[in-house]
Amino acid sequence: MSIEVEWARMTAPDLRSIAERGNALAILPVGSLEQHGPHLPVITDTASASAASIRAAKLVAEDVPVAVLPGLWLGMSEHHLPFGGTITVDYQAYEAMLRGIVKSLKALGFARLLIVNGHGGNVDPLAVAVRELAVTYDLPIVATTPWFLAPQETAAIFESDTAPKHACEGETSVMMAIAGDCVKADKLDEAMQQAPEPVHAPDGFSRFYSFSERAPITGTWGDPRLASAEKGERFLSVQAKALADAIRNPALWSRPDPVWRANRGLETTAGKAD
């Protein structure tokens, strides 16, 4: 019988026993509720992050005390609002939600947190939030986006591209694998009807772009027409293995340096300066 890893399916005593084992890991899938073209459901980013997280947890559950929280479906998706179907928050609200989760985990006795992200718009906000929250709460916190892990293995699965975009072959394949009834296969050709040409920022520069500038008509960036459930299973297998390797990598889980501690500036990494 497989070990239960989903937080929402366990009782409070079950979760307490996991925390009591020491060095317990909570995994928080994060995504969004946003448009994904005419063919994918708005929960795609959250669903894919949750699927990868659960599969990774099952790979390590024999020797790692672990629980996967329900996917956080609110993300930073204001750039998708022009297409409808999108609910979003600003950075202050997003950081506050993460802060509440981290404080709760700390109180419950969990020793570390892995945030598994499925939405591109969350990448930068997560990078800032994680560096602040880890130091504030003295808790190892790691954030990652599985689509960016194992790039060679991921690229080998794609036929239409070499990396994921939005509502593309990759995301469509994963949703076919985990929620095929929500994928509108008859809309794949429609998803590719884009005009005018999308806007691409010069390399090395950052500014706000609405997704209506990236994918002007359908909200699809990338070609979903070669997607399949079989590819989706392969994508998830690659992601789960990469996440499991990260969970077991001690270099990721050292205790945060207490940089704000009084007199920390009088010391080196090894201790008191000469």
pLDDT of 199 reads 84
Whole-angstrom CA distances from 7 to 18, 107, 196 are 10, 16, 45
User: What angle, rounded to 10 degrees, do the helices at 12-20 and 91-108 form?
Assistant: 80
Q: What local confidence, expressed as pLDDT, does residue 198 receive?
A: 84
Which pLDDT tens digit goes with each residue over 3-17? 999 999 999 999 999
Distance CA 23, CA 31 (A): 26
Range with the lowest mean pLDDT among 64-73, 74-83, 178-187, 189-198? 189-198
Name the average pLDDT for the chain. Answer: 95
Helix then strand then coil, in percent of the chain rounded to 5, is: 50, 10, 40
Task: Give the contacts of 151 (CB within 8 A, at least 6 positions apart).
Answer: 163
Name the DSSP class of 76.
Answer: -
Residue 268 — pLDDT band, cuts 50, 70, 90? Answer: confident
Distance of CA 165 to the CA centre of its chain: 14
So what's the pLDDT on residue 154? 97
With 90 as the cut, is the pLDDT of residue 218 above it?
A: yes
Q: CA-CA distance, 72 to 23, in Å (whole number)?
A: 23
CA of 105: how far to CAs of 14, 29, 57, 88, 271, in Å?
Answer: 15, 14, 17, 24, 30
pLDDT computed for residue 173 by the predictor:
98
Instruction: Give residue-wise pLDDT tens across range 219-261.
Output: 999 999 999 999 999 999 999 999 999 999 999 999 999 999 9
3 state SS of 257:
coil
**Domain residue ranges of the chain, discontinuous segments joined by +:** 7-251
Distance CA 245, CA 271 (A): 31
| For range 55-78, the mean pLDDT | 98
pLDDT in tens, 87-101: 999 999 999 999 999
Range list of H helices, 30-122: 44-60, 91-108
Q: How many CB atoms lie within 10 A of CB 46?
A: 25
pLDDT in tens, 135-170: 999 999 999 999 999 999 999 999 999 999 999 999
Does residue 106 carry a pLDDT above 60? Answer: yes
Residue 271: pLDDT band (50, 70, 90) is: low
Q: How far is CA 78 from the centre of its chain?
A: 17
pLDDT, tens digit, 9 for 90 and up, residues 110-129? 999 999 999 999 999 999 99
First to last CA, the chain: 57
Give the pLDDT band of residue 36 (cuts 50, 70, 90). very high
pLDDT of residue 174: 98
| Phi, psi torsion values for 88, nearest 5 degrees | -140, 165
- Asked if 162 contacts 226 with a C-beta cutoff of 8 angstroms, the reply is no
CATH code, residues 7-251: 3.40.50.10310
pLDDT exceeds cutoff 80 at 56: yes
pLDDT higher than threshold 80 for residue 1:
no
Q: At what angle do helices 44-60 and 229-247 cross, to 10 degrees?
A: 50
